[in-house]
Structure 1
Amino acid sequence: MVENAEQPAYPVGLRLAGRRVVVIGGGQVAQRRLPALIAAGADITLVSPSATPSVEAMAEAGEIRWERRRYEEGDLADTWYALVATTDREANARASAEAERTRTWCVRADDAEAATAWTPATGRIEGVTVAVLTGTDPRRSAAVRDAIVEGLRDGTLAAPQHRARAPFVALVGGGPGDPDLITVRGRRLLAEADVVIFPPSNPVVSIGTILAVPGIREAIAEAGVPVVGLSPIVGDAPVRGMADKVLAAVGVEATASAVARHYGSGLLDGWLVDTVDADAVAEVEAAGIRCRAVPLMMTDVDAAAAMAREALALAEEVRG
């Protein structure tokens, strides 16, 4: 093997299901590594005269085959991947040499520089596998892995899905529930969104409260998807509640066009007003927001569905 510290390891995901994997040594290293190999569906043979109770339990459960002896030449025949982790450096060196001859990728626990493969620090969250390699500094690898996993968990790192998936609607700030609904789950959902829709809710005490949460406006902007709002004012009167009085308290006129300007073109891409406010369309578009007049009164399920379709259609129009 040609060694060059300036040449980084090539990262790759091994698909080991049904393929022979040999683990030499049944101590703590094997105990840590075996669960992931089992989860990958590997055909695992453990070669070791002894093992930790946890490793013994894996053998008793039939998850691995255990040959209770020391390593012997030929143990790596027909092997795709090997983990060498005994306390006998001479045995480790012989096993590593066999792996080199048989072209078997081999992780060596006692000497990373002599190995042909390194095990990354890994973590999984919502179908994403994070794997980090920092050469021979496993603590740094673990710290970077933890930071990435935590970022994906709390939404500070966005990882939207770009392949086909089943459509769904998520309510962010939609009422009582998990206290992290807005700050954590909400941010994560925004990062994965195809469209963001502001319902015809109170723009000050409802939508405004959500937008005031640190990081929410930034998360909407970073999502890079159309943002469409539905006017909570129809014919100069609120759809429900006391939005007109709350708007007046913050100096905003209770009209469909004034609420659009209150949100602003830096936030909104599209705005739906009711047909009775069709004369507001030109004013809203003059403020840099695409606007359409459609029926907004949710008199029944069909009317609500039609309004949702109009919002999505406007989003596609904005998307171009």
Structure 2
Amino acid sequence: MRITVIAGGVGGARFVRGVREWARRESPDSTIDVVVNTGDDAWVAGLRITPDLDSIMYTLAGVNDEQRGWGRVGETERVSAELREWGVGWPWFTLGDLDLGAHIARTSWLREGLPLSTAVERLTARWPLGVRLLPATDAEAETHVHVRDPEGGDRVMHFQEWWTRHRAALPAVRFEQRGVEQAVPAPGVLEAIGDADVVLVAPSNPVVSIGTVLAVPGIRDAVRGTAAPVVGVSPIIGGAAVRGMADACLTAIGVRTAADAVAGHYGARSRGGVLDSWLLAEEDAALVDDVRALGLRTEAAPLWMRDSDTSAALARDAVRLAGVID
């Protein structure tokens, strides 16, 4: 079975790990491609930072910091402390010393003229990840946020400043992926979607993770046109975002923080959207009929990824909802 996952961030990383674990147990001949959000990427202190790609890579490699939810386990931050003394970079955006190794290697390859997708291939070759990571695009199409400043007026900032420095506390007016109109899908992305046996949309942020991937010209059309069933997994459990401040993003685009509302935001392929099925949490079982009314096949299942068993079970439920396994 060829599985393609569209993902971003920590929730996406944990979901992909669960898909890999399920495949190891029950479908060992499967291949897994992961199309990853690059809208969070940024230049910091002269280095190219790719937070979502790195989170997924570290999680699958088993070297991520599970307590913090991001970065490398056993990190030190001596270099970031020195950079702050010199006033270089973003003082509120800490880069761990081990993490800096990846950023320096990536930047070196990019400076040599290699595309991001090749840099990702080289970085991930270090560990037996069991999946292939594909950046959504090799182009720089970073997400910026138009916010309403409480001191008066509106201003624009990089998504990382809004998310990391301000913790999404400044009301967002809208999100802008600068340069996305000129971007093209990275090599392998359209083939991974078009040739898949099942496409899974991870429980990542619907607006700035999945939404940014789908904004790359050609990717939304590829998802709509694939012969594979497309199954989305709700990032909302019991009316609350599983991680981060996804509710602030949803509010900014006028979508309720509810499983049925996010399903409606993605929409059914039969009605011009991108999904065939929607897996929602057992806590939201009362919304099943509402989601079915949107034209989506749906079921309620346990969505909390507490360990390998629960994560693998979630992946199995998603694949089963696609109708490709019993």
Alignment TM class, shorter chain as reference: 0.3 to 0.5
Q: Which has the larger radius of gyration?
A: 1
What's the TM-score once normalised by structure 1's chain length? Answer: 0.46
Q: Greater RCO between the two (CA within 8 Å, min separation 6)?
A: 2
